Amino acid sequence: MCGLCGEIRFDDAPIDLAALDSMNEALAPRGPDGRGVHLQGAVALGHRRLSIIDLSRHAAQPMVDSALGLSIAFNGCIYNYEALRTELQGLGYRFFSHGDTEVVLKAFHAWGADCVQRFHGMFAFAIAERDSGRLTLVRDRLGIKPLYYAERPGALRFASSLPALVAGGGVDTEIDPVALHHYMHFHAVVPAPYTILRGVRKLPPATIRVVEPDGRQRERTYWEPRFETPADERGFGFEDWQDRVLDALRRAVERRLVADVDVGVLLSGGLDSSLIVGLLAEQGQRGLNTFSVGFETVGEEVGDEFQYSDLIARHFGTAHHKIRVDSASRLLTELPNCVRAMAEPMVSHDAIGFFLLSQEVSRHVKVVQSGQGADEVFAGYHWYPPLVESQDPVAAYAAAFCDRSHAEYCRAVDPRFHGEDHSRALIASHFARPGAEAPVDKALRLDQLIMLVDDPVKRVDNMTMAWGLEARVPFLDHELVELAARIPDRFKLHDDGKGVLKAVGRRVIPAEVIDRPKGYFPVPALKYLRGDVLGFVRDLVTSPAARGRAIFQPGYVEELLAAPEAHITPLRGSKLWQVALLEMWFQQQGL
């Protein structure tokens, strides 16, 4: 887990090493253990290292193999790297390090870009070929690791975060109107290749992008789950699917123990993270470090779920750490730091929870497993069951998920951002694609390939990496995802949704954390804006900077300020906070 950046030039101009250094420095929190730059012809690579596997200098990056004529900047972890290393040694390759980076490099030489099909893990990497001058950019199947890029005159720059590209200079920082529509309408989920800035794009998940030295570029998608049950599995019953999911989940959790440092768990006390703890205990992990966060209660909305995380910690004898944020002043002090750590504006309240939790966790361990992805993979959200009987699944999904109508969007933003209903068109186009027949599966595919990538997964990556902490997500093991996609929708939706995973959980963990209302990282103070928090938000949205930026129509902002608790999205978010968060992000990025 690290940060990478670089530039490839298509003209005779030299690499801007000062810009590369600025990008690399902006990535410092992602990799506090080392830095490096490598210049090779018209390509330069930069890297910030977080040492997890092979802590020696032999695994430093950018890594160069002069014999093969390849150099790499790599972010992530290949969990099956040892098996691949053995296979490559059998093909005659010799290794000078003991980590996964060199395995990626030699696998690329042996099998080309299709080497990614052999990888179990999370990854984004850039490989430069000395002899051809070609650059290859790759992102993992489910977009767990980020990769952004910016087209410039005669060049292409890339980095692990959007702010790093901005730090390099020369980026068009005007607001992208399509991205703004998604931010305001599609619950702040801005799908690739868009970002909120017109001059920055991001590589989609499961994508290989090849950049030739003359500037020609091509990309292809190398993976996508298929939501259909093959003939040889159609006779499986509910218990058969449980058995297969439990076996796959055991492998996924075990794979993510690969490290030369200790591995902990982010424990919310819900089914997903509790199941990870239970499976690790089952595999013999003792004294496991687990971590939870809680906030102050506002009105009747409780701000923590410690009763459930405590129950799991006691049951499995973990070394449990709790962080309490009991005051609005602490929240307000840390919010700007949290927002500054966002590669893109992320409106979900629990970003601050992950940020503060990661700060505490990083004092104890450098790697954690986390439960993100289980709801999107095993159908745990409330909008899935109603789709079964819906005559208009697109409308039903939009009504449950989207923050506002297109009409309200046009009333909210300045007329210069008006245009088509991009978010509804996105939903409709995904639902119309072949490969998923049941409406529930159509929604799951959209959520896995779009929403998951640019909401929960991005949030966890950004907030953990702000503190040099690596988060691993076993529910996004691609073999587990493929298996879940094949489960018939009637089994997925059993027991009010997430039926197979709940049944698996009952085999491993106490039922009290399963048979309860669905939880999350609650931050009531950002949902019900009152007192000092409301004053803070008011100052943001009425500041001279906000008025000068003129994203939102003044009348709409005043309407939200007059009754903030009356304007809550279907996903229980504050519309006023959404407006304020966008302005805060621009200010914290210096834009």
Query: Tens of pLDDT along 226-258?
Result: 999 999 999 999 999 999 999 999 999 999 999
By the 8 A CB rule, do 19 and 150 touch?
Answer: no
pLDDT tens figures, 274-317: 999 999 999 988 889 999 987 766 665 665 778 889 999 999 99
Give the pLDDT confidence score for residue 519 in this predicted structure: 57
Segment 551-556 mean pLDDT: 98
1: pLDDT strictly greater than 70 = no
Token representation of residue 439: 């409406």
Separation CA 270–CA 275 (nearest Å) = 8
Confidence category of residue 528, pLDDT binned at 50, 70, 90 = confident
3 state DSSP class of 3? strand
Confidence of residue 57 (pLDDT cuts 50, 70, 90): confident
The pLDDT score that the predictor gives to residue 353 is 84
Confidence grade of residue 329 (pLDDT, cut at 50, 70, 90): confident
Per-residue pLDDT, 488: 97
Q: What pLDDT is stored for residue 301 in this prediction?
A: 61
- Give the pLDDT of residue 554: 97
Closest CA to 75 of 63, 87, 89: 63
The answer on pLDDT for 40 being more than 70 is yes
Q: What is the mean pLDDT of residues 507-515?
A: 92
Please write the tens of the pLDDT for every residue from 82-102. Answer: 999 999 999 999 999 999 999
Residue at 538: amino acid letter: R
pLDDT in tens, 374-416: 999 999 999 999 999 999 999 999 999 999 999 999 999 999 9
Mean pLDDT of the 321-343 span: 87
User: Which amino acid belongs to residue 505?
Assistant: G
pLDDT band for position 143 (50/70/90)?
A: very high
Q: Which residue has the higher pLDDT, 525 or 180?
A: 180
pLDDT at 518: 62
Q: Categorize the per-residue pLDDT at 430 as very low, low, confident or very high, splitting at 50, 70 and 90.
A: very high
Quick one: tokens of 219? 């990309």
The amino acid sitting at 293 is V
- Of 498, 474, 472, residue with least CA distance to 271: 498
Q: Decide if pLDDT at 324 tops 90.
A: no
Full DSSP string of 93-144? ---S-SSHHHHHHHHHHHHGGGGGGG--EEEEEEEEETTT--EEEEE-TT--
pLDDT band per the 50, 70, 90 thresholds, residue 58: confident
Residue 114's pLDDT band (boundaries 50, 70, 90)? very high
| This prediction's pTM | 0.95
Where residue 490 falls (left for φ over 0; alpha for ψ -120 to 50; beta otherwise) is alpha
Instruction: Say how far apart CA 232 and CA 270 lie, in whole Å.
Output: 34
Which pLDDT score is estimated for 306? Answer: 84
pLDDT, the chain, mean: 94
Q: Of all residues in the chain, what percent carry a pLDDT higher than 90?
A: 86
